[in-house]
Structure 1
């Protein structure tokens, strides 16, 4: 069914303005972003198809440009709109609009939220000064669902160049598991030893999954 064939008060855009965005389904919200359908489907049907192809809203947040462009009916303009919208959502989760004047711990919690939307494994370093105030962070590397590579020497150089004296390391497990692997524990040990050699304090390494985290012991 085409949106124009619906009564005015049942159309997604009008319902959003009258009842608020929380009243709309994911398909309806997506239809507003897409604006139009294609030659075969109305915008609601296209929105439903996009969500089906991506595996839901979480999958949509993880979709790459090429994945979106491969969906029939999603051209460059629609793909760009969806990527921009999902990036805004990630930045809200990640807190990138917040000023970096407090401790490193708030930044850790923001990365925990942000990485909960990622389908690939990322390694992130958070840097702090002597007073444990946040001074910066880095997304060091990313890989597939099975792991990510980290250049430890690069990590040490970045920490020293940023004037940090303390470092926290975290990486996400896209499969949702919070348990550290043998490789995770070995990496923690190696990084701790190397940071000690260059005068940096290693505050710890944590695993992130589904909005939670657990420190590697």
Structure 2
């Protein structure tokens, strides 16, 4: 589908301006990417309720545009890096959508799902019955994948998610849901962005030092 043919397409979503469910209409689009990141389609759309414009993005992971646009602007939070696995980005995005819809209990449940997905993506499981999330997080700490502070963050998110997943009569507050999103995002950045960047930095430094040693010995 060409960029021009996207004009007029509609998507059901929650407007980032009026925060009401609406049918947004695409007014223009432009595609890009395909080198260091998946092909993407930027779409300028307009809310069918308040008529305010906003920017969305769709991604192509080999099966065409996914039909599930993510709002880029206006957005209080930056989008996750493409270095975070797609499945985890989708879980986190759904948590953000729950928050935007003021479904704070559902937000906490999705944050817990994201945590569980992180553990499984990091290979923290066994061949038999899946261990409890507490044990998986503990194993990540023991394996050196997260430090003590991140383990403490993750455990608090797990507890919040457990409280949200069971009928206790206690609602998850907006502040707890927002903090949960921020901590989950920090954990994803640490594991998939900052750790990879630090490993690349160390490898580059080691290579430079080796080349420097060779030069000084000549």
Q: TM-score, normalised by structure 1?
A: 0.25
TM-score by length of 2: 0.25
